[in-house]
């Protein structure tokens, strides 16, 4: 199962708690009434669908309910980073640098309590 980290809840949760809400960082032309039908259809329906890194909008529907953005590799389904809605788009070169690819050190485990028989 794919785990996704919510930047608001600050914990990883199963993908079933989330919904993809499409491409991130779309900007609607203002005022919309002055757009041609073709331009508006392009904004409303047509999206980039590149193979590789994608900037996506997600919603934590079974958690905090908030929208956030993510950078995901569409080939491997790996999330490179997640960030709050309204935050600037992260730099891809920084995300792909070898320092960013280093795995986090494993969390230390607490020893289990011993079972006491009565």
- Domain range list for the chain: 3-103
Report the predicted TM-score, pTM, of the whole model to 2 decimal places: 0.73
pLDDT at 108: 58
Q: Mean pLDDT, consecutive 10-residue segments, the chain of 118 residues?
A: 93 95 84 86 82 94 96 92 94 79 57 63
- CA–CA separation, 98 vs 4, rounded Å? 22
- CA–CA separation, 103 vs 100, rounded Å? 8
pLDDT at 110: 61
pLDDT at 33: 85
Question: Please, what CATH class does the domain formed by 3-103 belong to?
Answer: alpha beta
């Amino acid at each position: 199962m794919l785990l996704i980290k919510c930047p608001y809840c600050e914990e990883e949760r199963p993908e079933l708690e989330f919904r993809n809400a499409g491409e991130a960082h779309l900007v609607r032309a203002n005022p919309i009434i002055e757009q041609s039908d073709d331009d508006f259809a392009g904004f409303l329906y047509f999206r980039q669908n590149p193979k590789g890194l994608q900037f996506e909008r997600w919603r934590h529907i079974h958690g905090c309910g908030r929208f956030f953005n993510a950078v995901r590799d569409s080939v491997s389904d790996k999330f490179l980073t997640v960030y709050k809605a309204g935050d600037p788009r992260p730099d891809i070169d920084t995300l792909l640098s070898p320092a960013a690819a280093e795995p986090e050190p494993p969390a230390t485990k607490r020893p289990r309590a011993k079972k006491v028989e009565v």
